[in-house]
Amino acid sequence: MRWYWIDRFLEFESGRRAKAIKNVSLAEEYLHDNFPYYPIMPASLVIEGLAQTGGLLICEHGQFREKVVLAKVPKVTFYSEAVPGDTLIYTTTVEYIKDEGAMVTATSHKGDALHAEAEIVFAHLNDPRLGSLFEPETFLRMMRLLGAFEVGHAADGSPLRPPAKLLEAVNGTGA
């Protein structure tokens, strides 16, 4: 099972805000266990999608140098259930980014209706032993798959591009 809990970025404003879409589909395996003949997307997976939206935003801001992991959810409120056929729009806004970690406020909308809102805190892990867990290719592939570079903007408003060092790491020596 691939751990993608968002399908595509709609907006990606480096260091500030990102918006992503998550389509809930009966073709997703987990819905047939949760629950049999009564499919509901678990809140934890909505939170994971919000965390991926925000986490990639934080990660890109640091040029993918830091290992950004979900560390804490201080607050989260759900107003309705997400069910097959729903299109969820996740919006995450950066509250702060520091050396040790970051926080975003996040919302999930079904159309105009607020589905959920949360605060999500991330930690920056810099233990060198973790190097092999997070390959640069993984982030680059994820960002490309999700269309971040198609809709994204850097801080100065120019189109978002993968950081040169990341491309080098993926392609070998500066090809």
Minimum distance, C-beta of residue 165 to another protein, in the bound complex (Å): 26
Minimum distance, C-beta of residue 119 to another protein, in the bound complex (Å): 8
Please tell me whether residue 98 binds another protein under the rule CB under 8 A: yes
71/154 with CB nearer another protein: 71
Which residue stretch of 13-21, 51-59, 94-102, 139-147 sits at the interface with another protein (rule: CB under 8 A)?
94-102
Please tell me whether residue 95 binds another protein under the rule CB under 8 A: yes
78 and 36 Cβ atoms separated by less than 8 Å: no
Minimum distance, C-beta of residue 74 to another protein, in the bound complex (Å): 6
Q: State the Cα–Cα distance between residues 32 and 136, nearest whole angstrom.
A: 34
Please tell me whether residue 72 binds another protein under the rule CB under 8 A: yes
Give, as ranges, the residues between 101 and 120 that touch another protein (CB under 8 A).
Answer: 101, 103
Among residues 54, 64, 60, which one has the least CA distance to residue 131?
Answer: 64
Place of tokens 């934080």: 58
Q: State the Cα–Cα distance between residues 159 and 175, nearest whole angstrom.
A: 21
The partner residues of 109 in beta bridges, in order of sequence, read 89, 114
10/69 with CB nearer another protein: 69
Please tell me whether residue 121 binds another protein under the rule CB under 8 A: yes
100/137 with CB nearer another protein: 100
34/107 with CB nearer another protein: 107
Please tell me whether residue 125 binds another protein under the rule CB under 8 A: no
Give, as ranges, the residues between 3 and 62 that touch another protein (CB under 8 A).
Answer: none
- Interacting residues toward another protein by CB under 8 A: 71-72, 74-75, 95-96, 98-101, 103, 121, 123
